[in-house]
């Protein structure tokens, strides 16, 4: 009853090539759509399951909620949907397009590929008030773990999936508070002191809070393990990211994802990321006769 690889094999064999070509062509003119689409899929799956509820336009929909205001890549999904409606009308869900586009975004940034099970149906509900279960950048590791385990994802999945921050950027407004007066004695002490001036220069106290800074310093366009090395070195940008290193329950996973195979404890980040993505992409999916196949991704039928 769940999703399966090759769900559209008979009904729309071109689906994967249409989505990947569309992602590639948008990526070549604007590389920021890769992190945009990956994050969008995560924010879709955590609210009402992976059902494209994030794509619905209108008043008080998920899109209008705080954590979703800076999402990007909606036009890529609309473009792919248009082509798919021409090739196989009424067949491919917007939720599946987004799941495929997230994978193709990792491939575009030279990460490892994985097979994406399909067969999701699109939801009919999108409410900004449902977005409170999305993790926040000040969340403790306990809260992060709770929010992930509520969706069937364990600690290893948490660390692997947050590894998505190996690409993309954050606005200064989400971490600038760590750089000055974080405590009575000064900046967040978990920040590498030799790195601090660089961040302070990028995000001065009264500067532009919307200015964007790499989440993985010096490697924002490459889907690699550098993000974990940066965490080890006190170079995490978000408070929630740096805590993955300071917390004793998540640090071992950061260590294991950082290096290439290290004996029996070694975990390949690229492989584990794909595995955890398949789990995340199956959160509360609607299949069979549930939901609908939207004709336009930004509106319910
Ligand atoms: C504890 C969990 C997480 C928290 C608190 C968190 C928080 C954030 C924040 C605050 C930003 C900056 C947004 C902006 O300024 O536009 C961000 C960016 C991003 N997040 Fe996460 N995130 C989490 C987990 C994840 C997961 C699981 C994924 C995907 C699998 C993900 C993918 C991304 C990507 C790719 C970006 C860069 C977006 C861009 O460049 O447009 N995040 N995240
Ligand atoms: Ca959703
Ligand atoms: Ca990187």
Task: Write the pLDDT tens digit of every residue in 52-81.
Answer: 999 999 999 999 999 999 999 999 999 999
Residue nearest to atom 41 of ligand 1 (CA): 36
Cα 204 to chain centroid, rounded: 27
Average pLDDT estimate for 109-119 = 97
Flag whether pLDDT at 8 surpasses 90: yes
Measured CA to CA, the distance from residue 226 to residue 232 in angstroms comes to 10
Flag whether pLDDT at 263 surpasses 80: no
Average pLDDT estimate for 237-254 = 97
Domains of the chain plus CATH, in order, are: 15-134 (1.10.520.10), 141-277 (1.10.420.10)
The best mutation among 146, 168, 175 to test binding of ligand 1, ranked by most ligand atoms within 8 Å of the C-beta, falls on: 168
Concatenate the DSSP letters of all residues of 77-138 into one string: HHHHHHHHHHHSTTTS-HHHHHHHHHHHHHHHTT-------B---B-S---GGGGGGS--TT
CA angle 275, 294, 9 (to 5 degrees): 50
In the chain, pLDDT over 90 holds for what percent of residues? 95
Going by the annotation, the residues of the binding site are: 44, 47, 49, 51, 53, 62, 135, 165-166, 216, 224
Measured CA to CA, the distance from residue 161 to residue 197 in angstroms comes to 29
pLDDT per residue as tens digits for the range 186-200 = 999 999 999 999 999
How far does residue 220's CA lie from ligand 3's centre (Å)?
Answer: 5
Tokens for 132, please give them: 């409170």
Q: 43 an active-site residue?
A: yes
pLDDT per residue as tens digits for the range 281-296 = 999 999 999 999 999 9
Q: Tell me, what's the pLDDT at 259? A: 78
Q: Is 182 in the pocket of ligand 1 (CB under 6 A)?
A: no
Which residue in the list 26, 39, 41, 43 is annotated as catalytic? 43
Better-predicted residue by pLDDT, 267 or 223: 223
pTM: 0.97
Q: Tell me, what's the pLDDT at 260? A: 61
Distances (CA, A) of 204 to 89, 183, 220, 231, 295: 51, 17, 21, 22, 45
**Closest Cα to residue 255, out of 241, 245, 240, 270?**
245
Flag whether pLDDT at 208 surpasses 60: yes
Tokens for 180, please give them: 């000055």
Q: Tell me, what's the pLDDT at 66? A: 96
Q: What share of the chain is helix, strand, coil (3-state, %, to 5)?
A: 50, 5, 50
Measured CA to CA, the distance from residue 91 to residue 294 in angstroms comes to 9
Q: Tell me, what's the pLDDT at 261? A: 53
Q: Tell me, what's the pLDDT at 246? A: 97
Measured CA to CA, the distance from residue 28 to residue 220 in angstroms comes to 15
Tokens for 79, please give them: 């473009």
Which ligand lies nearest to the CA atom of residue 226 in the structure?
3
Residue nearest to atom 18 of ligand 1 (CA): 170
The best mutation among 163, 164, 269 to test binding of ligand 1, ranked by most ligand atoms within 8 Å of the C-beta, falls on: 164
Q: Is 161 in the pocket of ligand 1 (CB under 6 A)?
A: yes
């Amino acid at each position: 009853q769940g999703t399966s690889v090759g769900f559209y094999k008979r009904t729309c064999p071109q689906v994967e090539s249409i989505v990947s070509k569309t992602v590639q062509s948008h990526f070549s003119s604007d590389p920021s759509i890769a992190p945009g689409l990956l994050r969008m899929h995560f924010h879709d799956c955590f609210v009402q399951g992976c059902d494209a509820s994030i794509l619905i336009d209108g008043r008080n929909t998920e899109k209008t909620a705080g954590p979703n205001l800076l999402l990007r890549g909606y036009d890529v999904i609309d473009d792919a949907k248009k082509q798919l409606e021409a090739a196989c009308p009424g067949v491919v869900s917007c939720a599946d397009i987004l799941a495929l586009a997230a994978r193709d975004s990792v491939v575009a940034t030279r990460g490892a590929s994985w097979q994406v099970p399909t067969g999701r149906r699109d939801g009919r509900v999108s409410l900004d008030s449902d977005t409170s279960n999305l993790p926040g950048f000040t969340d403790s590791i306990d809260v992060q773990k709770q929010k992930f385990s509520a969706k069937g994802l364990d600690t290893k999945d948490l660390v692997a999936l947050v590894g998505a921050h190996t690409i993309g950027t954050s606005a200064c407004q989400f971490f600038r508070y760590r750089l000055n007066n974080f405590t009575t004695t000064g900046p967040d002490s978990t920040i590498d002191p030799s790195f601090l001036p660089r961040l302070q220069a990028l995000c001065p106290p009264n500067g532009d809070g919307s200015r964007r800074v790499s989440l993985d310093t010096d490697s924002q366009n490459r889907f690699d393990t550098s993000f974990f090395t940066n965490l080890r070195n006190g170079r995490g940008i978000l408070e929630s990211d740096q805590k993955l290193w300071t917390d004793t329950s998540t640090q071992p996973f950061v260590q294991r994802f950082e290096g290439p195979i290290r004996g029996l404890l070694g975990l390949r980040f690229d492989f584990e990321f794909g595995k955890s993505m398949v789990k995340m992409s199956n959160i509360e999916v609607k299949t069979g006769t549930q939901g609908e196949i939207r004709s336009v991704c930004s509106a319910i039928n």
